[in-house]
Amino acid sequence: MTAALLDGNATARTIKDELRSDVEALRARGVVPGLGVVLAGENPASAVYVRNKTRACDELGIFHETALFPPSTTTEEVAAKVSEYGRREDVHGILVQLPLPPQVDASRVLSLVDPAKDVDGFHPENLGRLVQKRPRFVPCTPAGIMELLARHDIAVAGKRAVVLGRSDIVGKPMALLLMHADATVTVCHSRTRDLPAVTREGDILVAAMGRAGFVRAEHVKPGAVVIDVGINRVEKADEARDLLDQARLPDFERKGYALVGDVHAPSVREVASALTPVPGGVGPLTIALLMKNTVKAAGLRA
C-alpha cells in the first residue's frame, strides 16, 4: 500500500475561488473585507506566515494592514493596536500572529480581540461557542482539516479518530470538530502511556505535537488517514536523510534546510491509505480558512 497524497494546495485554491464571488458581492454593497495583522518580534517563520496570509488577501481583494513591533515591545503597545483595530470600521478581522515575544502577555492580548473580529477563533467566547456546537469562527487549521476531509469524501461519522497534541490552537478544537462530526475521539499527549497502541486505534490520525518525524509506521493503523499538522525545519544532513524522501534530498543539499512534518512520511506512506504532505498539505488550508473567516466577519458586520 502506498498512501494517496491529500493535496492541500489544490483544496485551498478551490476554497479561495469560491470566496471570490462572496468578496465581489460585499464590494458591490460598498464593503471591502479588511484584515488587521499584529506581528511582533523577529521570528522568521512568523514573518513568512504573515507574508503568505497578506498575499492571499491581495489575491482575493481583501484590504490588509500589518502593525510591526520590535522584539522589545510591551504588552501595552500590542494591546493598544489590537484595541484600535477593534474600533476601526475598515477592519473586519484581527490576526495576532503567534508566538508573541516572551514579555508580552499573549492571553491578555488575545482576550482584547473583539470576538466578532476574531478570525483566528482563539478568543474564549469563540472557543466556548465551538464547545457548544454554535461556532462563529473556528480556528483555521482544524477548520481547514475538516474541509480537506470533506472535499476528499473521507467519512468521519462513526470513525475512531486520534489527535496527537492538546493545544488550544489545534489539538483541542480539532478534537471538538471531529466529535461534532460524530467521530469517537481520543486526545493523546506527552503523558499518554503506550502511545503507539493508542494511535493505532485511529482510522483518522491527526499529528500536531511539533516534533519532526515523530509519528512512524508503528503508530499507524493500516489503512488510516493521516493528517500531518507539523512544520519543522531540518538543517542536519543525517536528520534529512532519515526524514526526507530521496527525491527531496537534492533540494535539501542546495538550500541547506528542509521543512518536514510531525509524521515520518517515508515509513507512514507504506501503511496509511492517505497522507497530507509537508509542505503543501495543511498549511495552505490554514490560510484559505483565515480568508474565509475574514470574509464571513465582513458579511456579519455588513
- Element holding 80 (H helix, E strand): helix 75-87
**How many CA atoms are closer than 13 Å to the CA of 147, on its beta-carbon side?**
29
> Residue 51 is placed in which grid cell?
507574508
Among this protein's residues, is 114 annotated catalytic? Answer: no
Q: Which residue of the set 81, 97, 221, 292 is catalytic?
A: 97
Please give the Cα distance from 6 to 277 (Å, whole number): 7
Phi-psi region of 297 (alpha: psi -120 to 50; beta: other; left: phi over 0): alpha
Strands 63-69 and 4-5: unpaired
Among this protein's residues, is 97 annotated catalytic? Answer: yes
Q: Which residue of the set 120, 203, 228, 262 is catalytic?
A: 120
Among this protein's residues, is 172 annotated catalytic? Answer: no
Residue with cell string 469562527 = 137
Please give the Cα distance from 25 to 19 (Å, whole number): 10
> H/E/C letters for each residue in 14-54?
HHHHHHHHHHHHHHHCCCCCEEEEEEECCCHHHHHHHHHHH
> Residue 141 is placed in which grid cell?
487549521
Q: Which residue of the set 16, 53, 221, 292 is catalytic?
A: 53
Q: Which residues are catalytic?
A: 53, 97, 120
